[in-house]
């Protein structure tokens, strides 16, 4: 047994120091790369989450209200400032534009992330031309509305309900529709469950929606 053990030990291939150094160097560099990659992924996630919850606030410029006044005048309508208080005490602001000879219906126009109510003046112009009253609110944490955090439908659904109630009391329209982009669909979906009389949600598609007046309830 001793002679066999001696033969086996002598038959083991000796390790090459150069190869071992290269292997250790590769493992160290791989560990550093993985660590940097993980830190980078976490940093990107933090930045993306921070931006999503606290979007860049695009305030109303000096030309926004004159442009809204021009849209109202062109359609023989009246522009007024509107404001409601959200469930958490935040003040939400917007514009109400009511044609003097409207069709009795109204549309709430909701802008996108990092934008404000002025972005919806184009759709408002088209709808006013067809006799609809329009409400253009600034979402929370956007434009002139209060709030520091966007919640993507959690708080916004309640905000939209406040605007719906305000419009119902101020204008008493026959039917209230909604128009906006994908960000606002959850808010309108939640509101439609809370208020079955909320007519319907129209996704913003200029080629399909703005070519004719939206359907009314």
For the stretch 74-101, pLDDT in tens is 999 999 999 999 989 999 999 999 999 9
Q: What's the rounded Cα separation, in Å, for the pair 70 and 210?
A: 19
Using 50, 70 and 90 to split pLDDT, how confident is the model at 8?
low
The structure tokens listed for 207 are: 């080629």
Please indicate, yes or no, whether residues 40 and 68 belong to a single structural domain of this protein: no
> Is 192 exposed, middle or buried (CB count within 10 Å of its CB: 0-12, 13-18, 19+)?
middle
- Phi and psi at 93, nearest 5°, equal -125, 155
Average pLDDT over residues 51-69: 80
Has residue 161 been placed in a domain?
A: yes
Element (H, E) at 98: strand 91-99
The pLDDT of residue 69 is 96
Number of domains in the chain: 2
3-class SS of residue 52: helix
Has residue 215 been placed in a domain?
A: no
What domain range includes position 125? 64-209
Q: In Å, how far from its chain's centre is CA 32?
A: 37
Token look-up 């088209």 returns 126
The pLDDT of residue 122 is 93
Contact yes or no for 188/158 (Cβ under 8 A): no
**Above 60 in pLDDT, residue 4?**
no
From 50, 68, 49, 83, select the one nearest 117 (Cα to Cα). Answer: 68
Please indicate, yes or no, whether residues 45 and 130 belong to a single structural domain of this protein: no
Please indicate, yes or no, whether residues 21 and 95 belong to a single structural domain of this protein: no
Using 50, 70 and 90 to split pLDDT, how confident is the model at 64?
very high
Lowest mean pLDDT, pick from 86-90, 168-172, 191-195, 208-212: 208-212
Contact yes or no for 110/178 (Cβ under 8 A): yes
Lowest mean pLDDT, pick from 113-122, 142-151, 198-207: 198-207
What is the per-residue pLDDT across 122-153, written as a single tens digit (0 to 9) for each? 999 999 999 999 999 999 888 899 887 777 66
Average pLDDT over residues 155-166: 88
Q: What's the rounded Cα separation, in Å, for the pair 28 and 32?
A: 6
Using 50, 70 and 90 to split pLDDT, how confident is the model at 47?
low
Please indicate, yes or no, whether residues 121 and 189 belong to a single structural domain of this protein: yes
> Is 185 exposed, middle or buried (CB count within 10 Å of its CB: 0-12, 13-18, 19+)?
middle
Distances (CA, A) of 27 to 12, 17, 22: 25, 15, 9
Lowest mean pLDDT, pick from 4-13, 57-66, 136-145: 4-13
Has residue 58 been placed in a domain?
A: no
Please indicate, yes or no, whether residues 76 and 20 belong to a single structural domain of this protein: no
Please indicate, yes or no, whether residues 79 and 175 belong to a single structural domain of this protein: yes
Please indicate, yes or no, whether residues 99 and 198 belong to a single structural domain of this protein: yes
């Amino acid at each position: 047994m001793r002679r066999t053990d001696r033969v086996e030990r002598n038959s083991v291939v000796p390790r090459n120091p150069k190869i071992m150094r290269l292997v250790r160097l590769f493992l160290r560099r791989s560990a550093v790369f993985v660590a940097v990659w993980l830190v980078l992924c976490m940093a990107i996630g933090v930045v993306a989450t921070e931006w999503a919850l606290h979007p860049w606030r695009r305030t109303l410029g000096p030309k926004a209200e004159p442009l809204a006044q021009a849209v109202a005048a062109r359609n023989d309508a009246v522009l007024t400032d509107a404001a409601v208080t959200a469930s958490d005490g935040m003040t939400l602001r917007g514009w109400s534009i009511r044609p003097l000879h409207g069709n009795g219906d109204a549309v709430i126009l909701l802008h996108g992330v990092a934008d404000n109510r002025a972005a919806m003046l184009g759709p408002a112009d088209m709808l006013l031309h067809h006799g609809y009253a329009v409400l253009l609110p600034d979402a929370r944490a956007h434009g002139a509305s209060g709030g520091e955090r966007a919640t993507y439908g959690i708080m916004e659904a309640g905000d939209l309900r406040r605007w719906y109630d305000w419009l119902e009391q101020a204008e008493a329209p026959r039917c209230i529709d909604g128009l906006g982009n994908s960000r606002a669909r959850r808010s309108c979906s939640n509101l439609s469950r809370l208020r079955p009389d909320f007519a319907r949600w129209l996704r913003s598609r200029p080629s399909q929606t703005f070519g004719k007046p939206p359907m009314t309830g």
